[in-house]
Amino acid sequence: MPTVTIDNQAFAAEVDETILQVAARNGVWIPTLCYHAALEPYASCRLCMVEIDRGGWWQMVTACNYPVRRDVTVRVESERAIRARRGVMRLLLARAPESPELRALASRLGVTQTDFPTVTEAEGNCILCGLCVRACEERIGTAAISLTGRGVERKVSAPFGEPSEECILCGSCAAVCPVGTIRLEVHGDEWELVPFGKKGPAQRCAACGAVLTAELVREALARRGPAAVQGILAGEELCARCKRKKLVGQLLAAGGSGAPSAPSER
Amino acid sequence: MSQPQLGPPPTCQSPEHTCGVSVVHEIIERYGGNPEMLIPMMQDIQAAEGYLPREHLRTLGRELGVPLSRIYGVATFYAAFRLQPKGKHTITLCMGTVCYLKGADQISAVIQDEFQVKPGGTSPDRKFTFAPVNCLGACALAPVMVVDGEYFGGLSASSAVDILQKIASSKKPSEAVAKADAKQKTAAQKNGRGSQNP
Amino acid sequence: MKTLVGKFESFTDLEQYRSALKDRAAGVDCVIRVCCGPGCIPKGASKVYEAFRQAAEEADDKTVSVVPKLTGCQGLCECGPIVTLDPGGIFYQHVQEGDVAEIWRESVLGSGVVDRLLHHDEKTGQAARTTEGVPFYQGHQRIALALCGVIDARSIDDYIAAGGYQALAKALGSMKPEEVLDEVYRSGLRGRGGGGFLTGRKWRSAREAHGEPKFVIANGDEGDPGAFMDRALMEGAPHAVIEGMIIGGYAIGSSNGYIYVRDEYPIAVQRLRDAVAKAREMGLLGENILGSGFSFDIRISRGGGAFVCGESTALMASLEGRVGEPRAKYVHTVEFGFRNKPSLLNNVETWANVPAIIGRGADWFAGIGTAKSKGTKVFSLVGKVKNTGLVEVPMGMTLRQIIYQIGGGIRGDRPFKAVQTGGPSGGCIPAAYLDEAVDFDRLTELGSMMGSGGMIVMDEDTCMVNIARYFLRFLKEESCGKCTPCREGIAQMLHILDEIVGGRGTSGDLERLQELAVLLEDTALCALGKTAANPVLSTVRYFRDEYQEHIENHRCPAKECRGLFRYQIDAAACTGCGVCRKKCPVEAITGKKKEPHLIDADKCTNCGTCFDVCRFAAVKKV
C-alpha cells in the first residue's frame, strides 16, 4: 500500500487513487473547479496544481488525476504550488470577473483581484470546466451538449447552437455548474434551461399541483430508467409532501395506534 | 470499441434525399460502420457535398450511435470542416512564418476587405470561400495562396486582389494567371523588394 | 512492363525480384528525375514531368530507352523545378515545360548540356554540371531522405531496386525482436518530432507494456509553420516510413500500424495510401510477411486541420474519432495510448531512419553526429535565406554552415539577425551563436529546440517582437482551449504583445510576460501550452533592447511595426513622378511634377501605400 506524504504528513493510499482523493479523505484542502467526485477527472481548470518529488526535481501535477502508484511526496503549500494556483485563478478571474462563486473561491486562495484584463469572452461567466458536459454524458447518458470550437472560441453548446433535441431538462448541468452559468428557470408551467434555450412543460403533483420536474424527465425515465423507477412512475405522481400525507393517511386508516412521527423536513 | 450492426438503409421521404441518407450510408459502409472512423467519414461527406449539411450529420450520428453533440464538437474543433456551403472558388492563403514575414497578414486583410469574407467564411456573393491555413509547406514561393488547387506565389496585397478579381470574372483560374504574372514582375522590381522571389 | 511476381512468400522471392529489377534497370540508357516535391510542384514541375513522359512515350527512336521518374524533393526548392539526368548526373534548375524539348535534344539524345538551365555560381558565374558544383548540396548526408528525390516516388519497384525492404527482410529473417530493439537502442536515435526522446527506450517500454493489441503509430501531422520535412519525406519516400513501422511492429510485438497525416497534405495522403496498398499486394504488409510468420498492416488516417494533434495524446484522441484534446501523460502512451492500449508513436522521420539503422547497423549510425545526438537531421531551410530548400545534414553541423554554406547566406547579402528553430515551441537564436553546433541539447540550452526541423532565417528587417507575436497568435488559434493557462494565458501574453507593437507598451510588460511564461510552463496540460512562451522568452533574452525600444520610445528598430516608424521621401531619389501623391489615400503627399515630393507627417496614417507604389525606392522608412 503506497504512502502519500502531503506537506510532511503521511497518509496511506490505495494504488490508482488520485492525490486529490487521498488529500480529501484526510482533510487536506486542495482547490478544484472542474472536479466532481461523481465524474471522471478532466484536469482542465489546473487549479489543483501541486508539486511532487521526482527525485532531484519537483514536478507540477494536477492532484485530481495524478494516480498514486508508489510512495509519493507531495507539496501543496509550497511557494511554487501556491503561486501556480493563484496564477491560474487570476487568469480565470480575468475571464469571468463577475462571478460571485469564483470570487469566493479566489479569496479562499488568497486572490482578491486580478491584474489581468479581460481578453477572452465568457458567456455568463463560463470558465469552460466542462462539468456540465461530462455530467450530461457520463451520468445522464444524454450527451445533449458538448464543448464546441477550440481555443478562445471554445464554448459549451448544443448542436448548431440551437436548443437541444435530446435535452430532457433534468438540470444536472445546472446542478454541477460551479459558477452559476447554467440555470434551470421555472416560468409558470414552462421550464427553461438557461443559456441553452431548451424549454419544456413542467410536471405537477397530482394532488397539490406543486412543480415536480420537467415532463421530459418523466418521459425519459419511463423510456430508459431502471425497473425500480418504472414502478414509481406507474403509480400516481405526487410531491414529497403529498406522498407523506398520503402515507400517514393510509397508516391512520389502517387503525394503527402508533402513528409514525412526522419525518423531519429533508 | 464495439461496432454497431448496420441495419438496412433507413427510408427517406424526400425525393432528393436531402437528409443525405444515401450519401451518408455509403460512406459509413466504406468504413465498416466503425465509429472510430468518424473523422474520415465526415471528411468524405464534406468531399461529397462541399460542406457538412446538418441533416447529414444527424443521419451520421443516428446510424453510428454517436451523439450529435459529439459530432458537432468535432465539426467545430477541426479547421478543415465547414458547416456552411462553400463558395465557387476556394482561396487557401498560407499564413506560415515565411509568408507572414513577407506580408501574408496584409494580404489576408485586403482579401477580407475586398470580398467581405471572414477567415473560414464565404463571401456574400458566394464566389469565394476564404481559408487561411498555417503553412502550405511551399515556403520558396512565399507569400503564397492556392486558388482551386492552383498556386500563386510571390504575392503582394494588390497582386492577390488582382488575381482574385480576374478569377471571379473568368471561368478558370489559369486564365487569370498569365496577366497576374506579368503584373507581379513589375511589382517585384519596385523598391528592390521581392525581387529575389521566384 | 509486366509484374514479375504476385506476392512474396519468402526472403528469396524478394531478393530474386530485386535482382530482376536491377537487370531491367541496367538496360536503361537514360533516367530523367523530375522533382515534384513541395517546392517544385507549385512552379510547374508536374507539367515538366508530363512533357518528359510524353516525349519518352512518343520517341520514335526506340533504340534509346529513357525512363522519366517523378521524384520527391531533391532539395534546392529555391531553384525549382529541378531535373537531374543520369548518366552524368546533370543538374538542371528552373526547368519549365518549354525547356523539355531542348533538354531532350541536348542531353537525352545528345551528350551535351543546356547551359542556361545549369546552376551558375553567384559570383564567378561558372556553370556547374552536377550537384557537386552546387554549394547548396555540399555537406548533405541523406539517411532518412536517402531515396527521396532519387527513386520514383510512386514506385515500390524503385524502392525495392534501391535496396528497399532489405532491412525488413534482415530483421524478420535473422534477428529476434529483442535484437532489433537493441540495435535501435544502441544507435542512439532520438525522436525527430520535437522532444528528442531516446527512441530505443520508448520502444523498450512499449515492448514491456502489458495489454493487447499494441499499436504502432507514425506522426505525420507536421504543423510547425515553415516546416515541410515530413511532407517531403512522406511524398518522396513513403516506403521508408512503412518499412520502419513494420520493423517497429516486429520489435514491440504489434500487428497494427497507423499513419496520421496532416490534412493539408493531400499528395502525401495519396502516396501513402497507394504505397500501403502496393506493399499489401506484394506481401510486404498483411499476413505472414515474407513467409516469416509475422503479420502487420497499416491504415492511413487524415488529420482535420488542428496543430495540437501533433501532440501524441491529442493525435490518439483524433485517431479514435474524437476532438483532438490532449490528456495528462502521468501514465505514458506506451502503456496507455490509442484505445487505451500500449501505443508506440514516432515521427515519420524517426521511422524513416529505422531501415537504415537495421540495414547498416547501430555502430554505423552512432558514428554520425555528436555525442548525444546521433545521425542526421532533416531541416527545411526557409525565410530570408538565398537557397530555400530541404537539407539533411549530420547532427553537429554549425548554424553558420547550414545558413551560409548550404543556404548561401542572407538574401541581398543583408546582415543576419536570427534563426528560428523548433517551430512555435522553439525560439530565435541570434548571430552570436551562429557557430554553435546544431543538436538536440545545444539548441535547448540556447532557449530554442530542435523541434521537427523548421529553420527560419531572419534578417535585420524582421522585428523580433513581431515574430514572437506571430507565434503566439498562431498558438492562440491552435490551442485546443481545454486548459486554463494555455487558453487564457496565451491570450494574455498576446494582448501584451499587441499593445507593445501598437506603441502602447508600458513598463512592467516584460516582467508580466515572463511571469506568464513561468505560469504556462508550470501549469499547462500539454507541451503546446508548456512551451508556448518560448518564442517570447528567447526573443526577450536575446533582443531585450528591441522590446525596450518599442515600449519606451515607441519605435520599431526593424521598421516593421506600423506606427512605430515613419515614411519619408528621399529627395535625391525622388523623380517627382507623382504616383505616390495620387495613390495616397489621405492626401498627405505634396509636390510638383518632376520635383521631389514631401510627406506631411501630421496627415500621414503610415499606411505604406507610397512605399509600395514607388518605383524608384525613394520612399524610406525612418
A-C contacts at Cβ under 8 angstroms: 101
Nearest to A32 by CA among A108, A97, A112, A96: A108
pLDDT digits (tens, 9 = 90+) for C207-236: 999 999 999 999 999 988 889 999 999 999
Residue B140 CA, distance from chain mean position: 22
Do B98 and B54 share a structural domain? no
Would B171 be classed as within a structural domain? yes
A80-102 pLDDT, tens per residue?
999 999 999 999 999 999 999 99
Q: Do B97 and C480 touch (CB under 8 A)?
A: no
Question: Which residue ranges of chain C lie beneath pLDDT 70?
Answer: 1-5, 60-62
Q: Are C80 and C94 in contact (CB under 8 A)?
A: yes
CB contact under 8 A, C617 and B191: yes
A149 touches chain C (CB under 8 A): yes
- Share the mean pLDDT of chain A: 90
Q: Looking at the structure, tell me whether residues B72 and B93 fall in a common domain.
A: no
Interface test with A, best of B52, B66, B69 (most A CBs within 10 A): B69
Q: Which of C588, C595, C602, C592 is nearest to C611 (CA)?
A: C588
B116 and B184 housed in the same domain: yes
What's residue C132's pLDDT?
94
Domains present along chain A, CATH in parentheses: 3-108 (3.10.20.740), 125-252 (3.30.70.20)
Q: State the smallest CA–CA distance between residue A161 and chain C in angstroms.
A: 18
Domains along chain C with CATH numbers: 11-136 (3.40.30.10), 156-366 (3.40.50.11540), 376-459 (3.10.20.600), 464-553 (1.20.1440.230), 567-621 (3.30.70.20)
**Is B83 part of a structural domain of the chain?**
no
Q: Is the pLDDT of residue A266 over 50?
A: no
Q: How far apart are CA A131 and CA A125, in angstroms?
A: 14
Reported pTM: 0.89
CA dihedral C480, C483, C486, C488 (to 10 degrees): 100
pLDDT, mean of residues A158-170: 94
Inter-chain residue contact A80 with C483, CB threshold 8 Å: no
Q: Are C36 and C72 in contact (CB under 8 A)?
A: yes
Give the pLDDT score at C195: 80
Question: Rounded to whole angstroms, how far apart are CA atoms C537 and C432?
Answer: 17
Contact B40, C304 (CB under 8 A): no
A158 touches chain B (CB under 8 A): yes
Characterize the bridge pairing of strands C30-35 and C598-599. unpaired
pLDDT for the residue A216: 87
B11 assigned to some structural domain: no
> Does B179 lie in the same domain as B118?
yes
Within a domain: residue B42?
yes
What is the distance between the alpha carbons of residues A199 and C45, in angstroms, rounded to a whole number?
60
Residue B5 lies in a domain: no
Q: How confident is the model at residue B188 (pLDDT cuts 50, 70, 90)?
A: very low
Contact state of B191 with C611 under an 8 Å Cβ cutoff: yes
Total number of domains constituting chain B: 2
Pair B62, B103 in one domain: no
Domain boundaries, position B65:
21-77
Rounded to a whole number of angstroms, the distance from the CA of B16 to the nearest CA of chain C is 29
Cβ-Cβ contacts under 8 Å, C226 against chain B: 96-98, 135, 139
Residues of C in contact with A58 (CB under 8 A): none
Interface contact A164, partner B, CB < 8 A: yes
Q: In the complex, which subunits touch B with 3 or more CB pairs below 8 angstroms? A: A, C
CATH number at residue B169: 3.40.30.10
Residues in C touching A44 (Cβ below 8 Å): 482-484, 525
Boundary of a domain, candidates B77, B111, B146: B77
Buried b (16+ CB within 10 A) or exposed e, B77-107: bbbbbbeeebbebbbbbbbbbbbbbbbbbbb
| Chains touching A (3+ CB pairs < 8 Å) | B, C
pLDDT class of B77 with cuts at 50, 70, 90:
very high
**Closest Cβ opposite residue C382 in set B66, B80, B98:** B98
User: Which residues lie across from A238 on neighbouring strands?
Assistant: none
- Is B138 close to C228, i.e. CB distance below 8 A? yes
The answer to whether residues B62 and B149 belong to one domain is no
Locate the chain C residue with the closest alpha carbon to B67: C322
Q: How many CB atoms lie within 10 A of CB C596?
A: 15
Same domain, B106 and B188: yes
B63 and B99 inside one domain: no
In three-state secondary structure terms, A148 is strand
**What tens digit of pLDDT does each residue of A12-64 get?**
999 999 999 999 999 999 999 999 999 999 999 999 999 999 999 999 999 99
Question: What number is the average pLDDT over the span A122-127?
Answer: 94
Chain B residues with beta carbon closer than 8 angstroms to that of C467: 97, 101
CA angle C504, C508, C510 (to 5 degrees): 85
| Residue B11 pLDDT > 60 | no
Q: pLDDT for A210-262, tens place per residue?
A: 878 888 888 888 787 777 666 666 666 788 888 888 888 888 887 755 444 54
| Distance from C-alpha of B4 to C-alpha of B63, rounded to nearest angstrom | 9
Q: Give the integer Cα–Cα distance in Å for C523 and C510.
A: 20
State which residue of chain C sits closest to A88, comparing Cα positions. Answer: C485
**Do A91 and C476 lie within an 8 Å CB cutoff?**
no
Contact: C487, A128; criterion CB under 8 Å: yes
Residues on chain A touching C327 (C-beta within 8 angstroms): 43
Are residues B98 and B188 both part of a single domain? yes
Same domain for B107 and B158, yes or no, is yes
Residues B98 and B143 in one domain: yes
Name the burial class of residue A121, with classes exposed (0-12), middle (13-18) and buried (19+) by CB atoms within 10 angstroms of its CB.
exposed
Strand ranges inside C536-583, DSSP E: 567-569
State whether A143 and B73 contact (CB < 8 Å).
no
Span A164-173, mean pLDDT? Answer: 93
Question: Which pLDDT belongs to residue A211?
Answer: 79
Contact A151/B at CB under 8 A:
no
Cβ atoms C37, C236 nearer than 8 A = yes
CA atoms within 13 A on the CB side of C186: 13
- Is B157 within a domain? yes
pLDDT per position as a tens digit, A65-80: 999 999 999 999 999 9
On whether both B111 and B163 belong to a single domain, the answer is yes
Q: Residue B182 has what pLDDT?
A: 43
**C-chain residues within 8 Å CB-CB of B101?**
383-384, 456, 458, 462, 467
> Looking at chain B, how many residues does it have?
198
C-beta atoms of B139 and C228 within 8 A: yes
- A142 contacts A134 by C-beta, under 8 angstroms: no
Q: Find the CB nearest C330 among A67, A128, A130.
A: A67
pLDDT of amino acid B2: 40
Residue B198 covered by a domain? no
